[in-house]
Amino acid sequence: MSFKKTENKRLGEEYYSLDHSSGLRMIVYPKKGFNSIYATMGTRFGSVYSHFVSGGRDIIVPDGTAHYLEHKLFESEDGDAFSKYAKTGASANAYTSFDQTCYLFSCTDNFEESLGILIDLIQSPYFTDETVAKEQGIISQEIKMYDDSPDWRVMMNLLQSMYHSHPINIDIAGTVETIAKITPQVLYDCYNSYYNLHNMVLVVVGGVDPEDVLRVVDEKIKPCAPVDTRVVFPDEPYGVVRSYTEQRLPVAVSQFELGFKERYPGDFASSRDLICTSMILSAFAGESSELYRRLYDEKLINSTFGTEYLEGPGYRAVLFSGESANSVLASEMMNDAVRKLHKNGISEEDLERARKVTYGKLVAGLDNNRSIASELVNGAFTGRELFESAEAVASVTAKDINKRISEQLDPDNCCLSVVKGIE
């Protein structure tokens, strides 16, 4: 087995990929002059994968199972993975999103030993009635914490207002009631279906040699046969559920999130489409845009204002968020600006400004190990190649951008979520 090199001469960067005989996808991005190393092992399995067919079985799991499984995988019959990492000096963590679960560590020394711990962690599930029940109290507290978090509630209220049936409208951690239904068998069903090497990727970024990574994988990995697994999503209409939702929490300044639901075409966006979206958001609502200046000058937003493109299996949406003394007025001004954008398109001046900003962010991201790793994991699961984005920034035209505008930011298919202070 040998690595395939992918390089971009414009950026002066390169990385190496290999489809290991075990089924595991490996990507190594050496960074000259970097002492630190960041490694992550991810599976295409997140909170929205609650209904799937695996090995001919139709399986529905309680909400929050993917997140619960992430917690439990750190335990094994021979001890806790965090204790093992403490001995190597590595800093370890994990996260579950709507569409993936990743386990990670960063280190400056003892890399190969730490990588071995990561691989063992993934391959050593240990679930019993006692250990599963023990975790319920811990995760219940985490759920309650997020229930009181304005940042989280304003987003989840938005998603619940945008999506009728798709499980993205359900909290990643589930509820106290749903996690009480999780059993060892539920966790093993998910593990056996999605923690299959053919559904996983290992990404290592930093001061490392690809051959050193391969040597550890060859030694530690346990090959497995692929599993025929297919996620099942309910039909989701294009229209939103409601245009406005509000919640009261103890906040000093009201928070808002304005979301534009996009039609899901059945697959992931291309690198070129993603770059077009990034450039649209930069030109339309970036700090140097006319809209941003108007909102800021009228004290309808502050420095917390930002944009995000939310994309995954079965869902796409553009989000604007921040703090505002008058969220409704701010959203009305944004919708008016959206209509103007659809009518007039993007100007050449705005296009070139957005091109420079977007390219600058891409280059800056290549100096951050974690940012690179995140992009490589996403690319492995969506079929996008990392350096395609840099080439797209250089070549997209106003015609490309305006076509993308026509597909996004429908002012008649959006909703506003607001979290206000308690009166």
Tell me if residue 70 is catalytic.
yes
- Of 7, 13, 14, 70, the active-site residue reads 70
Which residues, at least 6 apart from 366, have a Cβ–Cβ distance to it below 8 Å?
Answer: 11, 13, 372
* Residue ranges with strand state E in 114-233: 200-206, 229-231
Distance of alpha carbon 344 from alpha carbon 340, whole angstroms: 6
Distance of alpha carbon 212 from alpha carbon 214, whole angstroms: 5
What would the DSSP string read from start to end of 261-326? E----SSPPPHHHHHHHHHHHHHHHSTTSHHHHHHHHTTS--TT-EEEEEEETTEEEEEEEEE-S-
Distance of alpha carbon 416 from alpha carbon 58, whole angstroms: 36
Is residue 3 within 8 Å of residue 213, measured between CB atoms? no
Tokens 């990574």 correspond to what residue? 213
Rg over CA atoms, the chain: 22
CB atoms within 10 A of CB 57: 10
Taking each helix axis from N to C end, the angle separating 184-194 and 129-147, rounded to the nearest 10 degrees, works out to 80
Which residues, at least 6 apart from 293, have a Cβ–Cβ distance to it below 8 Å?
Answer: none
Tokens of 418: 């607001």
29, 70, 235 from 195: Cα distances, Å = 23, 11, 26
Question: What residues act catalytically?
Answer: 70
